[in-house]
Amino acid sequence: MAEVKLHGFWSSPFSHRVIWALKIKGVNYEYIEEDLSNKSELLLKYNPVYKKIPVLVHGGEPIAESLVILEYIEETWPNNPLLPIDPYDKAIARFWIQFGVDKGPIFSDFFRSTGGEEQEKTTKELLEALKIIEEQALGDKKFFGGNAINLVDISYGMIAYWFKIMEEVIEVNVLEPNTLPRLCQWAQNFMEVPVIKENIPERYKVLAYLRHIRQKLLLEHLNK
Ligand SMILES: N[C@@H](CCC(=O)N[C@@H](CS)C(=O)NCC(=O)O)C(=O)O
């Protein structure tokens, strides 16, 4: 089999999407940790457009953007399918993955907001988006994929782990059993899946890292 390499960053939810998919498919790969403050020549060569991780390199050919990589993995290693076979069901799964992309900026706005009206606004927007995900995409299912996780679950994995740590850093709770009971239960179910819980960065390290980023954001805000 052609060699598979993954350029990633230890705390990145985007890297972890790819790691989870490769593990589920049983693909052996070499992991290359990038220093994002001093990106490698290879990363810049492989992803000259965005200069971001993750980048998957298969047989020397680079693929960038985590969701594009996930689709590539699904097509290249069709065992343990992560998308429905039925074209309509597949389109619906892709719709929800795209919804997550469209709502992505709300998550970073939530983390970047520094209190007051701005915080209230981003919290409200986030709650609305999460309610839609809970009611329309998840419903009463255990996972977005039904009884097992699929690419929708993997693409929303950030909500189950990193987002909870983000909430702790900024001391605002949105994903709570009284407001989003089914999504909370999904987060718990997702984190209990062996391939997920065995492949996440350590909580205390992510907490320290996000606290550090938050401090920098607050300082920037003060110096404006
Ligand atoms: N849309 C991209 C986002 C990837 C991304 O934001 N990667 C971050 C790390 S979490 C990165 O490489 N940042 C370096 C930079 O922006 O210079 C994806 O889904 O792969």
Distance 54 CA to ligand 1 centre (A): 7
Query: Which pLDDT score is estimated for 123?
Result: 95
With H, G, I as helix, E, B as strand and everything else as coil, classify residue 126. Answer: helix
Per-residue model confidence as pLDDT tens digits over 64-119: 999 999 999 999 999 999 999 999 999 999 999 999 999 999 999 999 988 789 89
Helices (H), the chain: 13-25, 41-46, 66-76, 87-112, 116-132, 151-155, 157-160, 162-170, 181-192, 194-197, 203-222
Protein residue whose Cα sits closest to atom 1 of ligand 1: 65
53 lines ligand 1 (CB under 6 A): yes
Query: Which pLDDT score is estimated for 78?
Result: 97
Q: In whole angstroms, how far apart are CA 69 and each of 119, 164, 187, 192? A: 33, 25, 23, 24
14 lines ligand 1 (CB under 6 A): yes
Q: Does the pLDDT of residue 181 top 90, yes or no?
A: yes
At residue 38 the predicted structure's pLDDT band, cuts being 50, 70 and 90, is very high
Please state the atom number of ligand 1 nearest to the C-alpha of residue 9.
9
CATH number of 87-213: 1.20.1050.10
Query: Which pLDDT score is estimated for 20?
Result: 98
The full set of domain ranges for the chain reads 4-76, 87-213
Measured distance CA(182)–CA(60) in Å, rounded: 42
At residue 221 the predicted structure's pLDDT band, cuts being 50, 70 and 90, is confident
* C-alpha 26, offset from chain centre: 20
Report the residue among 14, 47, 210 best suited for mutation to probe ligand 1: largest number of ligand atoms under 8 A from its CB: 14
Query: Which pLDDT score is estimated for 201?
Result: 98
Per-residue model confidence as pLDDT tens digits over 116-174: 898 999 999 999 999 999 999 999 999 999 999 999 999 999 999 999 999 999 999 99
Q: Does the pLDDT of residue 1 top 80, yes or no?
A: no
Distance 86 CA to ligand 1 centre (A): 31
Burial of 186 (0-12, 13-18, 19+ CB in 10 A): buried
Beta bridge mates, 58: 4, 61
Fold of 4-76: Glutaredoxin (3.40.30)
With H, G, I as helix, E, B as strand and everything else as coil, classify residue 37. Answer: coil
Say if CB 186 and CB 178 are below 8 A apart. no
What is the arithmetic mean of pLDDT over 10-32? 98
